[in-house]
Amino acid sequence: MRASFKLFRIFGISVEAHISLLILLGLLVYIFSVTPTPYGFADFPTPYRIALSFTAAISLFISIMLHELSHSLVARRYGVKVRGIMLFIFGGVAMMEKMPKKPSEEFAVAIAGPAASVGIGVISLALSTIPNTVLSAFFTLFAYFNIILAIFNLIPAFPMDGGRILRSFLAERMSYARATKIAAEVGRALAVFMAIFGIFYNPWLILIALFVYMGASEEERLVLLENVLGKGKVGDVMTTDVKFVTPDMKVSEVTEMLLKYKHLGYPVVDNGKLVGMITLKDIINADPDARVGDVMSRDVVTVRPEVSAFEALKIMSERGFGRLPVVVDGRVVGIVSRSDLVRVKEILETLEVMGWKKRSW
Going by C-beta distance under 8 Å and a sequence separation of 6 or more, which residues neighbour residue 230?
A: 308, 309, 310, 311
Select the span of 32-40, 54-62, 152-160, 285-293 touching Zn ion (CB under 5 A): 152-160
User: Which is nearer to Zn ion, 165 or 238 (by Cβ)?
Assistant: 165
Catalytic residue among 68, 106, 219, 220: 68
Select the span of 74-82, 107-115, 227-235, 292-300 touching Zn ion (CB under 5 A): 107-115
User: Which is nearer to Zn ion, 99 or 125 (by Cβ)?
Assistant: 99
Say whether 354 sits in a helix, a strand or coil.
coil
- Name the phi and psi angles at 244, rounded to 5: -95, 165
Confirm or reject binding of residue 153 to Zn ion (CB under 5 A). yes
Please say whether the beta carbons of 281 and 253 come within 8 A. Answer: no
Confirm or reject binding of residue 162 to Zn ion (CB under 5 A). no
How many Cα atoms are found within 13 Å in the side-chain-facing hemisphere of 266? Answer: 28
Is 226 designated active site?
no
**Residue 167: CB minimum distance to Zn ion, A:** 14
Residue type at position 97 = E
**Residue 332: CB minimum distance to Zn ion, A:** 42
**Residue 340: CB minimum distance to Zn ion, A:** 36
Question: Which residues on adjacent β-strands are paired with residue 265?
Answer: 279
Give the nearest residue (CB) to Zn ion: 113
**Residue 249: CB minimum distance to Zn ion, A:** 51
Confirm or reject binding of residue 106 to Zn ion (CB under 5 A). no
User: Which is nearer to Zn ion, 16 or 161 (by Cβ)?
Assistant: 161
Distance CA 57, CA 142 (A): 10
**Residue 119: CB minimum distance to Zn ion, A:** 13
User: Which is nearer to Zn ion, 158 or 176 (by Cβ)?
Assistant: 158
User: Which is nearer to Zn ion, 72 or 337 (by Cβ)?
Assistant: 72
User: Which is nearer to Zn ion, 68 or 282 (by Cβ)?
Assistant: 68
176 φ/ψ sector (left φ>0, alpha ψ -120 to 50, else beta): alpha
Residue type at position 185 = E
Identify the DSSP state of 307: S
Q: How many residues bind Zn ion (CB under 5 A)?
A: 3
Please say whether the beta carbons of 41 and 137 come within 8 A. Answer: yes
Confirm or reject binding of residue 161 to Zn ion (CB under 5 A). yes
Distance CA 208, CA 213 (A): 9
Residues in contact with Zn ion, shown as a per-residue x/- string from 304 to 323 under the rule CB under 5 A = --------------------
Residues in contact with Zn ion, shown as a per-residue x/- string from 109 to 148 under the rule CB under 5 A = ----x-----------------------------------
**Residue 27: CB minimum distance to Zn ion, A:** 22
Distance CA 311, CA 321 (A): 13
Angle at 151 between CA 148 and CA 152, to 5 degrees: 80
Angle at 338 between CA 334 and CA 343, to 5 degrees: 95
Closest of 143, 150, 74 to residue 112, by C-alpha: 74
Query: Which residues contribute to the site for Zn ion (CB under 5 A)?
Result: 113, 153, 161
Active-site amino acid positions: 68
